[in-house]
Amino acid sequence: EALKDQAIPLSPTAVREVLKEEGFAALPRRLDEERPARAGPTIEPVADVRHFSLAPRTFTTACGGLFLFIPDLLRLDLDRLAKAAQLPGSTMIPAGHALRASLALKLWCVERKSHIMALVADEGLAFFAGLNAIPKKSYLSEYSSRIHPKHTTRLLTVWHDRVRDEALVSGDSFNLDFHSVPYYGDHPVVERHYVSARSRRQPSILVFLAQDAEGRAFCYSNANIRKGEEAEEIFRFIAFWKRTRGQNPQHLVFDSRLTTYPSLARLQQMGIPFITLRRRSPTLLKEIVLLPRSAWRTVELDVPTRKYKTPRVYEQTVRVEGAVFRQVFIRDLGHDEPTILLTNDRRTSTPKLITRYAQRMLIENALSDAVRFFHMDALSSTVGLKVDFDMSLLVLASGLYRVLARRMRGYRDAQARQVFRDLIDTPATVTVGEKEIRVHFHRRAHLPIVLASGRLDRSVKVPWWNGRLLRLTA
Residue 150 located in a structural domain: no
For 340-378, what is each residue's pLDDT tens digit? Answer: 999 999 899 999 999 898 888 777 888 888 877 787 777
Three-state secondary structure call for residue 108: coil
The amino acid at residue 265 is: A
Please compute the mean of the pLDDT values over residues 224-249 and round it to a whole number: 91
pLDDT-based confidence at residue 168 (cuts at 50, 70, 90): confident
d(CA 181, CA 189): 14
d(CA 344, CA 331): 21
Spatial contact of 339 and 358, defined as CB atoms under 8 Å apart: no
Kindly state the helix (H) or strand (E) to which residue 323 belongs, with its residue range. strand 323-331
Q: Which of 210-214, 335-339, 384-388 has the lowest mean pLDDT?
A: 384-388
CA distances in angstroms from 463 to 19, 66, 78, listed in the order given: 68, 17, 11
What rounded mean pLDDT belongs to the chain?
Answer: 88
Burial code (b: 16+ CB inside 10 Å, e: under 16) for 119-131 equals bbebbbbbbbbbb
Domain that holds residue 288: 273-359
pLDDT for the residue numbered 335: 83
Within 8 A by CB and 6+ apart from 411, the residues are 405, 418, 419, 422, 423, 449
DSSP 328-388: EEEESSS-SSPEEEEES--SS-HHHHHHHHHTTHHHHHHHHHHHHTS-TTS---SSHHHHH
Q: How many CB atoms lie within 10 A of CB 369?
A: 19
Kindly state the helix (H) or strand (E) to which residue 176 belongs, with its residue range. strand 174-182
d(CA 337, CA 284): 11
Residue 288 located in a structural domain: yes
What is the bridge-based pairing of β-strands 174-182 and 200-212? antiparallel
Kindly state the helix (H) or strand (E) to which residue 236 belongs, with its residue range. helix 233-245
The amino acid at residue 433 is: G
DSSP state of 251: -
Sign of CA dihedral 64, 70, 71, 73: positive
Measured N-to-C along each axis, helices 361-372 and 384-407 cross at an angle, to the nearest 10 degrees, of 110
Residue 413 located in a structural domain: no
The total domain count for the chain is 1
Which is higher by pLDDT, 34 or 379? Answer: 34
Say yes or no to pLDDT of 145 above 90. Answer: no
Indicate yes or no: pTM above 0.75.
yes
Sign of CA dihedral 249, 251, 256, 262: positive
Residue 250 located in a structural domain: no
d(CA 282, CA 289): 11
What torsion, rounded to 10 degrees, do the Cα atoms 415, 421, 422, 427 define?
A: 140
Residue 334 located in a structural domain: yes
Helices (H), 22-77: 70-76
For 15-61, what is each residue's pLDDT tens digit? Answer: 888 888 888 888 788 887 888 887 777 788 899 999 999 999 999 99
For 125-137, what is each residue's pLDDT tens digit? Answer: 999 999 999 988 8
Residue 354 located in a structural domain: yes
Residue 307 located in a structural domain: yes
Residue 147 located in a structural domain: no
pLDDT-based confidence at residue 146 (cuts at 50, 70, 90): confident
pLDDT for the residue numbered 271: 93
